[in-house]
Amino acid sequence: LTTGVISALGRQVEGAGGVTIRDMIQTDAAINPGNSGGPLLDSSGRLIGMNTMIFSRSGQSAGIGFAVPASTVARVVPQIIRTGRAEQVGMGINIDPTGRVERRLGIRGVVILGVKPDGPAARAGIRPIEPRGDEIALGDVIVAIDDKPVPDYAELYNLLDGKKPGEKVNVTVQRGRDKVTFPVDLALLDGT
């Protein structure tokens, strides 16, 4: 057991795969090796977060600690108990989370590489890239979800995080020179 001060709420931290994790709790309480996943408690013993990572310039356990808020834990843990994994919703599209295509073409947004037949995106009319002979024609590029800008995969991931299957979002795509918005019913990703 250690003590510390919560110095910030709503922090953004880069997580695995370059995805920005939002709404983290920042603390100076020591998070030693093996403490990840342990509780962050307030002075009354109430759970306020789950210790997750530490940012340390020295490589030691001293530094700034980050915890996932209890509200996120309360949402995700029952999913893990029920299904063995955190549930994620999606649109039935294939994208490159590393953003190689977007960087190569200088595009802000998320290029749609493929659309699952009969998936939510296909039903909405969203188009993927398309082979044309020896070339590939750019399809739709997601640039906003519910009027919130989507400059990259991390932002797309975070905007969909916490949504439920069947929930409708308005997906704005860049299609050639035009921006087009489609209502899309989100579906539970099947893990493939």
Q: What is the DSSP string of 112-171?
A: --EE-TTSHHHHHT----EEETTEEE---EEEEETTEE--SHHHHHHHHTT--TT-EEEE
Please give the pLDDT value at position 117: 92
Stated length of the chain: 192
Answer whether residue 56 shows pLDDT above 80: no
What digits encode the pLDDT tens for the residues 142-181?
999 999 999 998 889 888 887 888 899 999 999 999 999 9
Whether the Cβ atoms of residue 110 and residue 128 lie closer than 8 Å to each other: no
Candidate from 13-27, 97-111, 124-138 with smallest mean pLDDT: 13-27
Please give the pLDDT value at position 15: 67
Please give the pLDDT value at position 175: 94
Please give the pLDDT value at position 114: 93
Which of the two residues, 71 and 31, has the higher pLDDT score? Answer: 71
What digits encode the pLDDT tens for the residues 12-43?
777 666 666 778 888 887 777 776 778 888 88
Q: What is the DSSP string of 155-186?
A: HHHHHHTT--TT-EEEEEEEETTEEEEEEEE-
How far apart CA 126 and CA 185 sit, in angstroms, is 12
Please give the pLDDT value at position 192: 35
> What percent of the chain stands above pLDDT 70?
90
